Amino acid sequence: MTDSAPAWDVQARISRLFVYPIKSCAGVELREAVLTETGLDLDRAWMVVDTQGRFMSQRELPRMALIRPTLRSNDVVLRAPGMLALHLQIEVVEEPVTVQVWKDTVKAYDMGDLAAQWFSDFLAPPGPGESSRKPPYRLVRFDPEQQRLSNKRWTGEVDAPNQFSDGFPVLVLSQSAVEGLNQRLQEAGAPAAVIERFRPNVVLEGIEAHDEDNMEALHITTGEGQAVLRLVKPCPRCPIPNVDPATGESHPAVGDAMQAYRALPAMDGAICFGMNAIVIEGVDQVLRTGQAVGANYRFD
């Protein structure tokens, strides 16, 4: 073997790519995406907060799944049932604010009253006599000067910055893992689960179900060289996979099915599905569907 053709334990390819411009809203499937140190470009760049600056998600507001972004060159267009489209200029922000995402307090920028009213009207429609109420939710944009790092317990000596993701820059999931889950759901008489329920960034095909749990790093052959994503932590699952992205309604079937076989002792019994990853090499390179991926198994 030569240096240009390593003898990988696993060979796969990227089958799908997703970004989620607004935390906990619907994702956007892409054919290609620029890799940044905080993950795929524009992933979790915006976030909905309450009047105290605390982040909101589908855990509290499952209707967020129905807010669907479209990425264009200069703006993001948001659509939701019964709402006129909202246009967000990618390079435009308003007042600086401080917000909270999990235990992190970070600097951000408010996106203005129009965006606040749009999100509030959809997520918490005003009741009788509330036409002049203060919007209960606001939209904020991550401050690029802010550094929010992944937990060093999992990244070791690597500083792995995030924007508004739960804790790591990239989520990796195998297509076969979802297929295996769907087989279990079918046997239980429940509908199949689309992969969007699990909110991955990079979907791999050509590997066994959950093989991503055992791999050390993904070495992705791009047009500009090689990108490396180190797989650092299994992704514990909250109730969000129970939310149907098509309806915004929650049903426990998916969580119940995962509970039967994805409660990992190494994660204190947490239900895990997919692997969190950090960016080691390849910042500013372009990931594309169809790119080859090589990996070696982790031997702990």
For the stretch 131-144, pLDDT in tens is 667 899 999 999 99
What does the CA dihedral 277, 279, 280, 284 come to, rounded to 10 degrees?
150
Mean pLDDT, the chain, as a whole number?
A: 95
Domain annotation for the chain: domains and CATH numbers: 10-295 (2.40.33.20)
Sign of CA dihedral 285, 291, 170, 78: positive
| % residues pLDDT > 70 (the chain) | 96
| Overall pTM surpassing 0.75 (yes/no) | yes
CA distances for 32 relative to 43, 222, 245, 265, 268, angstroms: 13, 11, 22, 36, 36
What's the whole-number mean pLDDT along residues 135-157?
96
Distances in Å between the alpha carbon of 33 and those of 26, 99, 122, 286, 287? 17, 27, 29, 6, 5
Q: Does the structure show a pLDDT above 80 at 255?
A: yes
Burial class (CB in 10 A: 0-12, 13-18, 19+), 292: middle
* pLDDT of amino acid 207: 96
What pLDDT, in 10s, does the model give residues 104-126? 999 999 999 999 999 999 999 87
Q: Is the pLDDT of residue 7 over 50?
A: yes
Give me the pLDDT at residue 254, please: 97
Answer for the pair 21, 28: CB distance below 8 angstroms, yes or no. Answer: yes
Q: Could you tell me the pLDDT band of residue 3, with boundaries at 50, 70 and 90?
A: low
| Residues 10-38 pLDDT 10s | 999 999 999 999 999 999 999 999 999 99
Give the pLDDT mean for 282-289. 98
State the pLDDT at residue 5.
63
